[in-house]
Amino acid sequence: ISINGLAQVKHVVLVLSGKGGVGKSTITTELALALVHAGKKVGILDVDLCGPSIPRMLSVGKPEVHQCDAGWVPVYADPQQKLAIMSIGFLLEDSDEAVIWRGPKKTALIGQFVSDVAWGELDILLVDTPPGTSDEHLAVLENLRKHRVDGAVLVTTPQAVSTGDVRREITFCKKTAVKILGIVENMSGFVCPHCSECSNVFSKGGGEELAKLTGSVFLGSVPLDPLLTATLEEGRDFLQAFPESSTYTAISQIVNTVLSSLDA
Amino acid sequence: MADVPNDAPEHCPGTSSDQAGKSSACQGCPNQNICASGAAKAPDPAIEEIRQKLTSVKHKILVLSGKGGVGKSTFSAHLSHALASDDSKEIALLDVDICGPSIPKIMGLEGEQVHQSGSGWSPVYVEDNLAVMSIGFLLSSPDDAVIWRGPKKNGMIKQFLRDVDWGEVDYLIVDTPPGTSDEHLSIVQYLSGAGIDGAVIITTPQEVSLQDVRKEIRFCKKVKIPVIGVIENMSGFVCPKCKNTSQIFPPTTGGAQRMCEELNLPLLGRVPLDPRIGRSCDEGRSFLTEVPDSPAAVAYQNIFPNSKLSHYSKNSLC
């Protein structure tokens, strides 16, 4: 039986970078939470097999993954089942266990994650990816070919060492015909909580320049916010905890722009 | 046989894979019978070739993380600069991040290309005694994407080790991408004849980082690479205006210190966040020489050995 786990998924959005540690999982998590707060049913597919960050960020430590007739049941982050997640993090007995796999094995599991998970009805499936342009990225796209990928959100930090990798990811998107929904500049400045001085810890403006250079939409900047980092560490909902913060405003604007481009 | 022969189909699992000859992708491949019989799985002759080639390399150190964006390339580059400040030492820096090669930019070598000669590929020299190799030097445009599956990345790493004319080298520093996958397995496999002295593990203080780093440490144990120690990067930020410290990446589970205590590993040092580091890296200059009195540079100098020291021991870097 060929099960198309994505039959009732309306939109699929990849979260890509090319560069590691820029905040793909953070942005995926915050986008997902914002979408759930906006009344959407959301899924997160975490295809970072070596370093899966999503389970901790959403406080869903080590539940068991069950099988049903339609395939694997995703793990729900909330009792109302508005946020479904699949990650290799749920399949590891020991959270410190290293997944030391070469490409073909990673490709096979990702295929299962896409096709054999009973996602059910979702407004949006977000796909969190590891850095690079390799097996995981190709596997996701190949398996999503039967469905449809609405596009990708690209995350960068401001400095050139980051945008340098993201340029290559943009080429990847062009070559694989993935529409670029826009670029997010993360870690964009730090406001000292003591004196309010803004420091450009990882430089400034690179994300916006990259958007201009490549003709992409600039979705917005998200500042370095220790409150955001702390809530992610604890697996708490930042948007519920700090709705007055400028980080919340920044994320909301990004979500609204992404949603309008999906409905367009 | 090459890991992915030229006539192999698109999803070739690699001739040394367990699936060689048996995977569905192998149907119709002219090499299928050879692979299925196990004949292709004999130890790769490149391992011995690399062992011979690297007899002129005294020490090989991997820089690993597991987590992306923690400062592996930054550290690798600055370790190389620090080691090369001793004119009597020959230093080599090999960047095996195939998809996201940062080393050329950080070393101020963007746009450089690699030359081939009778004795192999020549690395690019930053200083007379500091040679660098990266896939970045093989790409003609900053927009070029290297969209390769594992087996092809494997082949490139083999070439970097076997075909680059490194010459006499005191330290070969290997910068890696995040993860525990093809690049890491390939480096370990191809250096299995030549030997690896050890690995330096880079992390940032928060648990989201540490949880990946613990996996990398497990990887090291599994493949028997000694862990020289751990460096906690981005360890606090001192506001340039009011001088108060903020923990932008908070050590909610005790940071690298607690992890090192639990795993009985040396904590080699903690480096604070400094906007001038990112700027120096973007400009391709060593921040050790640009801002030598910054707290970050001081922290690095405490990690790096006295540059006159030449003896390698397990708990220090030289």
CATH number of the domain to which B98 belongs: 3.40.50.300
B92 pLDDT band (50/70/90 cuts)? very high
Same domain, B123 and B32: no
Residue B313 scores a pLDDT above 70: no
Q: Is residue A164 part of a domain?
A: yes
Report the pLDDT averaged over residues B239-245.
89
Report the alpha-carbon distance of residue B256 to residue B233 in Å, rounded. 9
The structure's pTM equals 0.90
Residue B155 belongs to some domain of the structure: yes
Q: With contact defined as beta carbons under 8 Å apart, do A95 and B253 qualify?
A: no
Beta strands at A83-87 and A42-46: parallel, antiparallel or unpaired: parallel
What is each CA distance from B261 to A55, A102, B45, B267, in whole angstroms?
25, 31, 41, 9
Pair B17, B139 in one domain: no
CB contact under 8 A, B13 and A104: yes
Mean pLDDT (whole number) for A100-124: 93
Asked if residue A126 is part of any domain, the answer here is yes
Q: Are residues B164 and B301 in the same domain?
A: yes
Say whether both B228 and B293 belong to one domain. Answer: yes
- A56–B218 C-beta distance less than 8 A: no
Partner-chain contact A161 B278, CB within 8 Å = yes
Residues of A in contact with B273 (CB under 8 A): 201
Q: Is B127 on the interface with A (CB under 8 A)?
A: no
Residue type, A101: W
Does residue B58 sit in the same domain as residue B74?
yes
Question: Which range among A22-36, A48-62, A141-155 has the greatest average pLDDT?
Answer: A22-36
Q: What residue ranges in chain B does DSSP mark as E strands?
A: 57-64, 91-95, 115-117, 120-122, 124-127, 130-134, 169-175, 198-203, 227-232, 237-238, 245-246, 267-270
Query: pLDDT tens digits for B32-56?
Result: 887 887 766 678 899 999 999 999 9
Q: Which residue has the higher pLDDT, B310 or A162?
A: A162
Are B196 and B54 members of one domain?
Answer: yes
Taking an 8 Å cut-off on Cβ atoms, the answer to whether B145 and A232 are in contact is no
pLDDT(B17) > 80: no
Q: What pLDDT shows up at residue B308?
A: 32
Reported as a single tens digit per residue, the pLDDT across A65-104 is 888 887 889 999 999 999 999 999 998 888 899 999 999 9
Residue B33 CB: number of other CB atoms within 10 A?
A: 11
Determine, yes or no, domain membership for B124: yes
In which domain, by residue range, is A228 found? 9-263
Total domains present in chain B: 2
**Is residue B307 pLDDT above 90, yes or no?**
no
B12 with B153, same domain?
no
Spatial separation of the C-alpha atoms in residues A117 and A3, rounded to whole Å: 9
The domain of B306 spans 46-313
Asked if residue B96 and residue B22 are part of one domain, the reply reads no
DSSP for B299-313 reads HHHHHSPPTT-----
pLDDT of residue A264: 66
Are residues B103 and B21 part of one domain?
A: no
In a domain, A1, yes or no: no
On whether any CB of chain A is under 8 Å from the CB of B3, the answer is no
Q: Is residue B1 part of a domain?
A: no
Contacts of A21 in chain B (CB under 8 A): 67-70, 178, 204
- Judged by a CB distance cut-off of 8 A, whether residue B222 touches chain A is yes
Question: Any bridge partners for residue B198, and if so which?
Answer: B61
Do B261 and B286 lie in a common domain? yes
The C-alpha of A243 sits at a distance from chain B's nearest C-alpha, in angstroms, of: 19
Write the pLDDT tens digit of every residue in B118-156. 878 999 999 999 999 999 999 989 999 999 999 999 999
CATH label of the domain that carries residue A96: 3.40.50.300
